[in-house]
Structure 1
Amino acid sequence: MSNADRHGLIAQAVRESGTITVQELARLTGASEMTIRRDLDALSAQGVLERVRGGARTLLLRGEEPPFTLRTREAVEAKRRIAAEVSSLVADGETVVLDSGTTCLEIAHLLRRRPVTVMPLSLQAIHAFGEGPGPATLLVPGGQPRAAEGALTGPLTLASLATLRFDTAIMGCCGLSAAEGFTAYDLDDSAVKKAAISAARRVVLATDASKLGRTAHAYVGPATILHTVVTDTTASPDEVTALKDTGSVVKTV
C-alpha cells in the first residue's frame, strides 16, 4: 500500500469512527505502529485530524463535508478506475457538463485528451483542462467558488447552465441511495447539480462506494434521474441491486 493510499484509509477510518487507536489503524492498514504514529503526526500537521494520546480523532462535525484536500487522498485507485470507465462512456464530439469533486477531477484529466466539449463546474477541473494543449474544447461558466472547494455556485453558474444544452452530465455526489436519492452537503451546490441535470439528455453519476447508502442533507433528486451509476467493486451488493431496481444501469469497476 502506498503512503497516499494508507493516509487516505487512515483519514477515512478516523472520520467514520470519530476516535481510533494506533493499534486499530495498524491492524486496518497492515503497517507497523511506528509507521502509523508518523502518519498521524503528518496528517495532524495537515489539519486532517487531531492527534490524541494513543491515536487520533476527527475534526469534522457529524454531517460535515470532508475537505477537498482530504478527499483527494481517499480511494485514489478506485476513483481512477471509475474515471476511466466514465470517460469510455463519452463519445467523441459530445458536449459534457462536468460536476465538481475529486472523482470528477480525475475524469477531467482524461477528457482533456479527447475531442469533446466540456464545461467544468469547479476551478480545479478548469485548471486541469488548461494544463496544456489538447483536443478538448473548454467552456468556462461564471460563478462564485466555494471556499477551499473550488466548486462554482450562485446565479452566474445557474445562468450559464440555463443557456446551454449538453449530451451528458457527469455528476458526483455526497450520498446516494435508492430510498433517499441523490444528495449533497451544500444547498448552493445542490442547486447547481439540479441545473446541470436539467440541461443534459443523459446523466452519469461517478462515485466511489463509500457514498452509497449515505444521505447528506441537501436533496438533488431521486435515483431514477440517473441513467448510469459508475462505482467501484467494494460497493454493497444490496445497494447495487436497489439502484438497479430504480432503472439505473450500475457499473462496478
Structure 2
Amino acid sequence: MRSSGLPPESRRDELTSYVNQVHTARVEAMADAFGVSAMTIHRDLDVLAGEGRLERIRGGARAITARLAERDVRLRRHLNARTKQRLARTAAELIEPGAVIALDDSTTVGELGPHLESRRPSTVITHSLALMNTVSAQSSIALVGLGGQYYAETDSFLGSVVVEQAQRLTADAVFVSTTAVKNQALLHPDAEAALTKRALLKTGGRKILIVDSSKFEGTGLYHVMGLDEFDDIVIDDQLAPELLALLKSLNLTIHLAASSPKD
C-alpha cells in the first residue's frame, strides 16, 4: 500500500481503515505502508484521535472498539463506516417519493441523510439533531423534529417528551437500527433510547431495520421490538448462514447490501 500521492483527508480515511483492519499499528509500520514520513503519520494520528476516529497509544494507534464507541456518537459515526454507507445506499431504495418517513438517531440510519434529496420523501420525522440539520437545508422536504431532553452522547432528543410527540404522528415507513440483535429481538443498552425507538417504530406502517451483521448475537439490556414485527431488514452480506436462515424463517423481506472490493 502506497498512498504518498493522496491529499491529507483521503490519506487519513485510508489510514483509519487500515488501523481498523489490523486493530493496532505502530507509526513505523504505517509510515512504510503509506509511503510517508513518521512525522506525517504522527500529525495524521493527532487529527484522527481528535476526531474520535482512532485511539492514540504509545508508538502508534489502535482501532476504536464497538464497546468504547457504543455511547459516543462521535466515535460510532466512524465505526464500520463503509458498511453503514453500503447499508444506507440499499435502504434508500425503499424510500418512496412523496412518502412520510421516520428516522431514528442511529449512526447507521444517519447515513440516509445524503440520499434524501434524490429519493424525495415529502416529510421526515426524526429525533436526531444531525438529521434535522440535514433535512432543514433541503427546501423540498418538510421536517418534523421531535424535541425533548438533548443528549450529546447520541446527538439526539430522547425520553418521555419525544415519546409523547411520536404518539401523535403517523409515517408511511420508519427506519431504525440498534446496538444488538439477539433472541429474535432488537436490544439496546440504554433505557431512554430503547423507549424512544419503540415509540418511533409505532408511528410507521412499514417497519424497516437497517443493521450490520456484527450486531447479531450482541448484548443489550432493554427490549425494543421483536424481529417478527418488522417488514424489511437491510443487512450486509457477511451475516452467518444460520442467522440468515433464521431471518428468512421470520417472513421478513431481506435486502442484502453487497460488499465492495475495498471492504
TM-score for both structures, normalised by structure 1: 0.80
Moved more, 87-96 or 69-78: 69-78
Give, as a single letter, the amino acid of the residue that structure 1 aligns with 2:134.
Answer: A
Which residue pairs with 1:204 in the alignment? 208
Which residue pairs with 1:130 in the alignment? 136
Matched, 1:159 2:164: yes
Aligned CA distance change for structure 1 residues 207 and 62 (closer, same or farther; 3 Å): closer
> C-alpha separation between the residues in 2 aligned to 1:13 and 1:145?
34
Q: How many pairs does the alignment contain? A: 244
> C-alpha separation between the residues in 1 aligned to 2:12 and 2:243?
28
Asked if the contact 2:105/2:128 (under 8 Å) is kept, the reply is: yes
Which residue pairs with 2:150 in the alignment? 145
Aligned CA distance change for structure 1 residues 4 and 57 (closer, same or farther; 3 Å): closer
Matched, 1:226 2:247: no
Find the partner of 1:86 among 79, 87, 91: 91
Moved more, 50-59 or 79-88: 50-59
Asked if the contact 2:19/2:61 (under 8 Å) is kept, the reply is: no
Asked if the contact 1:11/1:48 (under 8 Å) is kept, the reply is: no
> C-alpha separation between the residues in 1 aligned to 2:125 and 2:66?
32
What percentage of residue pairs aligned between the two structures are identical?
26
Asked if the contact 2:108/2:211 (under 8 Å) is kept, the reply is: yes
**Equivalence map 1:69-84=2 (5 Å):** 69-84=74-89
- Structure 1, unpaired ranges of 5+: none
> C-alpha separation between the residues in 2 aligned to 1:93 and 1:83?
19
**Looking at CA atoms only, which structure, 1 or 2, has the larger radius of gyration?**
2
Q: Aligned-pair distance for 1:223?
A: 1.8
Which residue pairs with 1:67 in the alignment? 72
Q: Aligned-pair distance for 1:79?
A: 2.2
TM-score for both structures, normalised by structure 2: 0.77
Pairwise CA RMSD of aligned residues? 3.2
Aligned CA distance change for structure 1 residues 227 and 67 (closer, same or farther; 3 Å): same
Q: Aligned-pair distance for 1:205?
A: 0.9
Which residue pairs with 1:22 in the alignment? 26
Which residue pairs with 1:239 in the alignment? 243
Residues 83-134 of structure 1: per-residue CA shift (max 9 Å, x gap)? 2222211222222111112221221332244042210120000000012322
Moved more, 60-69 or 118-127: 60-69
Q: Aligned-pair distance for 1:149?
A: 2.0
Counterpart of 2:56 in 1: which secondary structure?
strand
Find the partner of 2:175 among 160, 170, 173: 170
Which residue pairs with 1:185 in the alignment? 189
